[in-house]
Amino acid sequence: MKGFIDFIRKGNLVALAVAFVIGAAFVALVASFTTNFISPLLGIFGTQSLDAYSFCIGTCGTVTDPATGAITYSGAYFGWGAFLTALIGFLITAAVLYFFVVKPYERLEERLKKNKDEDVAPTDVDLLTEIRDALVARNDTPG
């Protein structure tokens, strides 16, 4: 049990849980943005909701079960508008993550790497070479 508690206490697990919750909230936000802003803008050219776009192969029709209220489709129903809405939501999510998370992280890593390369201490060989050169220079001067 102690090993499990130590595992739970690790910062990585907590950070992962927080990231998951924030990610779920962000997906809901993007879905709402797509449904409430993007779809109506695209709806100027057609219907107000992309979900209405579909086609059916075979006998197209719906059957409503009076007992449960469930709607079933006869034939092969393809709701490509709903897929297009989900695709737009995915692309918005990917773009936001790329431009606001990945790119700034890459820039930060690059900046930290440059600073790390500049702060490299001289090696023993470099120090000994400097001492040798200083001694040689001192012996060459008269007096």
Domain harbouring 114, CATH code: 1.10.1200.120
Instruction: Name the least confident of 58-62, 66-70, 78-82, 132-136.
Output: 58-62
Alpha helices in 34-79 (DSSP H): 39-43
Prediction pTM value: 0.54
Determine the average pLDDT of the residues in 107-136: 83
Rounded to whole angstroms, what are the CA distances from 128 to 121, 123, 140?
A: 13, 9, 18
- Asked if the model's pLDDT at residue 118 lies above 70, the reply is no
CA distance 110 to 40: 41
Tell me what the mean pLDDT of segment 123-128 comes to.
86
User: Structurally, how many domains does the chain consist of?
Assistant: 1
Q: What is the pLDDT of residues 23-57, one digit of tens each?
A: 889 888 888 888 788 777 877 777 667 777 778 88
State the angle between helix axes of 2-9 and 11-33 in degrees (0 to 180), rounded to the nearest 10. 50
Q: What is the pLDDT at residue 142?
A: 60
The 8-class DSSP code of residue 59 comes to E
In terms of residue numbers, what domain contains 29?
2-140
